[in-house]
Amino acid sequence: MAVRPEPIADRYELVEQISSGGMGQVWRGYDAVLDREIAVKLIRTDVIASVEAAEEFAKRFRREARVTARIQHHGVPQVYDAVLDESYDRVYLVMEYVPGTSLRAYLTPGQPLPVSWAVAVAAQICTVLSHAHAIPVVHRDLKPENVLVTETGTVKVLDFGIAAILRTDVTRLTVTGQVLGSHRYMPPEQVRGAQITPQSDLYALGCVLHELLAGKPLFDGDNAFRLMLQHVSQAPVPLRKLRADLPDEIEQLVLRLTAKAPEQRPSDAYEVYEQLLPFLPLPGAMPSTVVQPADVPDPTLLYRRPNAPRPRSEPTRLPPGSAALAQPSVPPQGSDTTAGTALRDLIDEAVAYSNDLLDDDRYTQAAEALRQVIEPATAELGRESPRVLQLRQRRAAVLVVGGDFREALPEFDALVGAFTRTRGPKSDEAMACLRQAALCRANLGQSTIALRQFREVLAQVRTAEGDASRTALELRRDIAMLLLAERDVEQAEAELVPLHEDLLVLYGPDHEETHEIGDILTRLRLAGNMAQPELPTPRDDERHSAGPERQPTTKHWPCV
């Protein structure tokens, strides 16, 4: 994979191909301006054979891009940009990148899915279709390949770009004789070339739901022509003849969805949703008792815990080699000295490219540039090679600079273990990664563990460098500020007072850091004085008998 992908329109950089289909390719990439992951759909242009066809294609492309952008629903990836070059060499949609797995991956012949799982997927598709049909937009190609299931079970409906607005001029924009859609899910009216309506999408939804529940397609002809004939004239097999445990209401709904005449199908997606509703779990319900593989997402979660917070256990997308670094050490496959010239060049190029991206504050993509080279380096040098560990530490540090503490934390935890095994538990590398892990935890609200890790690092730094080294001063400040954030004012002040005294000695009263810590202490004391009840003013004889006035413990107290 190229480390320096060629940018499109001086902005969008393609990283890896995700899929390829009849309408073109879909790539994962980066927006160089906003430093975010994107999906780029490269539309096929090889069907253009004349100027007239090119003009027709341009009209369809612009229309479809605008239509897709109008569907405002979390179940549809948002469109960010649409570009059509005059040369037609670069025709693409730039969209939201959504990690997930195609619904097709969960379909195994002869293995029906649990009713709750299938119904939850179908219900989520209904919510998307209801928003699209209200515009009105018809998908025209609804199939498992165009349905994405995320790690949390949320369903995304893809490829609305081939849809058409239901207006009188739409038919004239369609290339004569072109048939859109997949034969296995194509409604009879689409086979005949008749008017496409929202009920056409409902027919395709019925085909998908049938396949989820039966473990086999609605029709299974041996070629496209036979499949189309079956959709037009052959009655489907009722679901309960294929699966006796299904409720009669589900069977009747699928039969209505797959009726030959559009007017015999449900009136709209909302009606389908209402008929699915009794089979969806209620808010607060426990997960289904049906045993599922651990790596299969749960689409019922959206209904059991609507509008729930981000799961604490939600998987973090880690780069290749992350899990390996957390495992016990084994002899590496190679060493840095035996690395081939090609790998050394690739690493140098990746690091240089990452530095260039950092100069432009493109932190996400800078981390990605390093991620791409970690996998081949791991394969050639071994998972705990010094060079590989250095690359991973560099990438994790980039994530921290970019504020991505959630993804950086497991990286640094893994690196602490790796450096502990290879360099020793008190090595500079292990301590540096432990400090970064503590920083991540502090920013993620894991204060108790963060304080423990900061103090562990500080104890080692004090032993090696003393209490007034640059690193020790920074750690002491981090600990104090974390205590302050946790409202442990007494302990925070106990850390800040000696820190301020050391800063006065090392840097003087006018240094920026001295001022900062002094200002914090002044505010703390003012707040403490305001919280104390007002005491009576002592008489002169009492004041003199009380002894000398107590002096402040520091020599400099800046004004608030």
pLDDT digits (tens, 9 = 90+) for 30-40: 998 898 999 99
Nearest to 60 by CA among 133, 134, 138, 169: 169
Nearest to 142 by CA among 87, 104, 174: 104
pLDDT band at 347 (very low <50, low <70, confident <90, very high): very high
pLDDT single digits (tens) 266-319: 999 999 999 999 999 999 888 876 545 557 899 999 999 888 776 655 444 433
Element (H, E) at 233: helix 224-233
Please give the CATH topology (third level) of the domain spanning 321-415: 1.25.40
Residues 17/42, Cβ–Cβ less than 8 Å: no
Please classify residue 393 by burial: count the beta carbons closer than 10 Å to its beta carbon, then call 0-12 exposed, 13-18 middle and 19+ buried. buried
Helix, strand or coil for residue 553? coil
Q: What is the mean pLDDT of residues 361-382?
A: 90
Between 36-40, 56-60, 93-97, 498-502, the lowest mean confidence (pLDDT) is in 56-60
Q: What local confidence, expressed as pLDDT, does residue 330 receive?
A: 31
Nearest to 28 by CA among 77, 67, 74: 77
Selecting among 31, 141, 201, 336, the annotated active-site residue is: 141
d(CA 58, CA 55): 5
445: left (phi over 0), alpha (psi -120 to 50) or beta: left
CATH class of 101-285+295-304: mainly alpha
Highest mean pLDDT among 141-145, 317-321, 326-330: 141-145
pLDDT single digits (tens) 508-518: 999 999 999 99
337 has a pLDDT exceeding 80: no
Instruction: Verify whether residue 141 is a known catalytic residue.
Output: yes
Q: What local confidence, expressed as pLDDT, does residue 51 receive?
A: 63
Between 120-129, 176-185, 391-400, 521-530, the lowest mean confidence (pLDDT) is in 176-185
pLDDT band at 223 (very low <50, low <70, confident <90, very high): confident
Q: What is the mean pLDDT of residues 391-411?
A: 92
The two domains 7-96 and 101-285+295-304 share their CATH topology (first three levels equal): no
Looking at per-residue confidence, does 17 or 331 come out higher? 17
d(CA 542, CA 169): 98
Residues 311/287, Cβ–Cβ less than 8 Å: no
Q: What local confidence, expressed as pLDDT, does residue 121 receive?
A: 97
Looking at residue 532, what DSSP letter applies? S
Residues 137/165, Cβ–Cβ less than 8 Å: yes
Between 149-163, 271-285, 428-442, the lowest mean confidence (pLDDT) is in 149-163
Mean per-residue pLDDT of the chain? 81
Tokens of 441: 């935890």
Sequence spans of domains, the chain: 7-96, 101-285+295-304, 321-415, 445-560
Please give the CATH topology (third level) of the domain spanning 445-560: 1.25.40
Residues 102/148, Cβ–Cβ less than 8 Å: yes
Helix, strand or coil for residue 319? coil
pLDDT band at 64 (very low <50, low <70, confident <90, very high): low
pLDDT single digits (tens) 79-89: 888 776 666 55
Model pTM? Answer: 0.64
Residues 273/126, Cβ–Cβ less than 8 Å: yes
Residues 263/241, Cβ–Cβ less than 8 Å: no
Please give the CATH topology (third level) of the domain spanning 7-96: Phosphorylase Kinase; domain 1 (3.30.200)
